[in-house]
Amino acid sequence: DFMSALDEVHPAFGVSEEELLQVIQNGIIHHDPVVDKILQAGKLLVEQVRTSTRTPLVSVLLYGPPGSGKTAMGASIAQASEFPFIKLISPDTMVGFSETQKVAAITRVFTDSYKSPLSVVVVDNIERLIDWTPMGARFSNGVLQTLLVLFSRRPPKGRRLLVIATSSLRSILTDLGFAENFDSELRIPPISSLRSLDLVLQEVGLFQSDQQRKQALSMLAQAGFGDTDEMNPTFQIGIKKLLSTIEMARQEPESVAERLTNSLLDLRGT
């Protein structure tokens, strides 16, 4: 039965712990309440898969601007499930694959997942998996069709699967035919408030003193960072780019605040 099947999962298809940790190398900084809300929503979906018999397949899309933390969040939700089968499908491991090889590799992970009573598959960066480029709207239709089918194909009897997909190009997914393909969609927002910025800066310890940090923040506030016009935020930056910008600023110890604020202000013009 279901419970005994849980024990029989072949370890070869077990959790790829290392891969998951690699993509959350810099941890999850709880810079905003939305971070916890997303993790909680993920947990509910995990529970639905674990308990519901009517929906053996549940799929969720994590979307948001580049570098907003989609991959790290997806990996975190997957890891927290503690399901016996957790796998990450990532373009990073498919460089130079032919279309046929990609389709085979992707399909393989899903087929393997069917051997475990409970599985999570993270399908990271759909646009890259399908070789998407805006120029001429080119992409691999072979990989796209494979994903379209796999995201909707019910696992065999007695098996349950959570699919977590990530993408920066939600509107294009619709044009590609992904409409109504996901049971649920969660938005990973960029950082756009002074409060979030402050929390990140504290966490990474860029400044020697609180005073220095506050000075930098007040400079940014004056330049309009964090203004409350939420519809059209003056600044916004993905957590990934923010962390990189911080490290760059760190290289010039004597002018950290200046470099940081300049870099952030530059984003306005983009």
**What is the rounded distance in angstroms from the CA atom of residue 267 to the CA atom of residue 153?**
42
Distance of closest approach, residue 182 Cβ to Mg ion, in angstroms: 16
Footprint on residues 218-247 left by a second copy (CB under 8 A):
238, 241, 243-244, 246-247
76 lies in the site for Mg ion, by CB under 5 A: no
Distance of closest approach, residue 91 Cβ to Mg ion, in angstroms: 9
Beta bridge partners of 87: 121
Enumerate binding residues for ligand ATP (CB under 6 A): 24-29, 31, 35, 66-73, 125, 152, 168, 238-240, 243
Query: Mutual orientation of helices 256-269 and 239-250 as an angle, nearest 10°?
Result: 140
**What are the backbone angles phi and psi of residue 267, rounded to the nearest 5°?**
-65, -30
112 lies in the site for a second copy, by CB under 8 A: no
Closer to Mg ion by CB, 117 or 190: give it.
Answer: 190
Distance of closest approach, residue 222 Cβ to a second copy, in angstroms: 25
* C-alpha separations of 18 from 23, 84, 123 in Å: 9, 15, 16
**What is the rounded distance in angstroms from the CA atom of residue 162 to the CA atom of residue 146?**
17
Residue whose C-beta lies closest to ligand ATP: 69
Closer to a second copy by CB, 52 or 218: give it.
Answer: 52
Q: Which of 71, 113, 116, 245 binds Mg ion (CB under 5 A)?
A: 71
Stretch that binds a second copy, among 77-85, 101-109, 210-218, 226-234 (CB under 8 A): 101-109
Contact between 177 and 137 (Cβ < 8 Å): no
Contact between 87 and 113 (Cβ < 8 Å): yes
Binding site for Mg ion (CB under 5 A): 70-71
